[in-house]
């Protein structure tokens, strides 16, 4: 059962492949904002998986984050998520990211729980029109 207070944590090392240069979000070899966002979504998503019924998952629908500091190649980025609100199928998370020096990003992330098969079938049908 989903309840306020569920937390998650994920980490990844900054390598060339997750820099702004590599992902096309800038020209500097620092941790890319899209990569920080992806880590935040992954952290929130995986934190609730054990609490979902079989065949159910979640999809991201809204992100409001700030990237506060640049992280160079070689450092590790750690993300934390906390489930702040449960409103039916709507979930709101606080997300924060840190490197070896401190806070590098923070914000909120909204997800909705979905029946995986039904959601996938509906998405596939969009491509058949």
Which burial class, exposed, middle or buried, applies to 54 when counting CB atoms under 10 A from its CB (0-12, 13-18, 19+)? Answer: exposed
35 in helix, strand or coil?
Answer: helix
Supply the range of the domain harboring residue 114: 7-126
pLDDT at 57: 98
Asked if residue 65 belongs to a domain, the reply is yes
31 in helix, strand or coil?
Answer: strand
Spatial contact of 43 and 9, defined as CB atoms under 8 Å apart: yes
Asked if residue 2 belongs to a domain, the reply is no
Looking at the chain, how many residues does it have? 129
Tens-digit pLDDT profile for residues 7-16: 999 999 999 9
User: What's this model's pTM, rounded to 2 decimal places?
Assistant: 0.95
Q: Percentage of the chain with pLDDT > 90? A: 96
**Domain CATH number, residue 79:** 3.10.129.10
Spatial contact of 57 and 114, defined as CB atoms under 8 Å apart: yes
């Amino acid at each position: 059962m989903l309840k306020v207070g569920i937390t998650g944590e994920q980490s990844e090392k900054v390598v060339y492949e997750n820099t702004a240069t590599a992902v096309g979000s800038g020209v500097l070899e620092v941790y890319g904002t899209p990569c920080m966002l992806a880590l935040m979504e992954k952290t929130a998503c995986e934190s609730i998986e054990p609490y979902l019924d079989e065949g159910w998952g979640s999809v991201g629908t809204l992100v409001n984050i700030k990237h506060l500091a640049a992280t160079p190649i070689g450092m590790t980025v750690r993300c934390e998520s906390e489930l702040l609100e449960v409103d039916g199928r709507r979930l709101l998370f606080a997300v924060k990211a840190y490197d070896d020096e401190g806070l590098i990003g923070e914000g909120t992330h909204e997800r909705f729980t979905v029946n995986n098969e039904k959601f996938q079938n509906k998405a596939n049908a969009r491509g058949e029109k």
